[in-house]
Structure formats: C-alpha cells, structure tokens
C-alpha cells in the first residue's frame, strides 16, 4: 500500500495534482472538508492510526458528496 508521500509522487508523475486540487476546491470538496477535523486526520496519518483514517473515510464515503468525489477520483486515476 502506498503511503501519502508515495501517493503524492505518483499523482504528480501522472500529472494529476492539478485535477486533484480542483476536486478538493470544488463545492463537494469544500463541503467534505467542513465535515472533517483536519488536525485529527493529520495526527492519525502521522501516527499510522488506520482505524481513525478508515472511520473518517467511511464518514466521507457515506455522503452523496463523498460518493461523487470518489467516482471522479476513480475515473481520473484510470486515465
């Protein structure tokens, strides 16, 4: 499984960082960001707390915004 740094490098290698940034700055992305506690997510990522990250991801993916963004990311990574 890729860590966040490797994932970032892979996205950059594929030229997807601009597209991903646009998704994050979209209306759906802004709504999801407002739902999440960025500091808690950063701590969980740094400490390797997979349970906390899975919980946050589950919360995001249970929303309509999250489902739309996940589908857009899936399509973006496929091309």
Q: In the structure, what pLDDT confidence band is assigned to residue 68 with cuts at 50, 70 and 90?
A: very high
Looking at residue 63, its pLDDT comes to 93
* pLDDT for residue 11: 80
What are the residues whose beta carbons fall under 8 Å from the beta carbon of 47, sequence distance 6 or more?
none
Give the Cα-Cα-Cα angle 75, 1, 44 (nearest 5 degrees).
95
CB of 63 closer than 8 Å to CB of 32:
yes
Distance CA 32, CA 72 (A): 14
If one counts the domains in the chain, the total is 1
| Closest of 11, 8, 61, 3 to residue 36, by C-alpha | 61
Q: For residue 27, what pLDDT is reported?
A: 92
pLDDT in tens, 28-44: 989 988 888 888 888 88
The model's pTM is 0.65
Res. 79 pLDDT band, cuts 50 70 90: low
| Domain span at 52 | 4-78
């Amino acid at each position: 499984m890729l860590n966040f740094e490797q994932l970032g490098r892979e996205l950059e290698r594929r030229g997807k960082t601009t597209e991903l940034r646009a998704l994050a700055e979209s209306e759906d992305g802004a709504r999801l960001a407002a739902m999440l506690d960025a500091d808690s997510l950063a701590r969980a990522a740094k400490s390797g707390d997979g349970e906390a990250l899975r919980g946050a991801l589950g919360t995001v993916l249970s929303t309509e915004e999250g489902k739309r963004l996940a589908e857009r990311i899936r399509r973006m990574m496929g091309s």
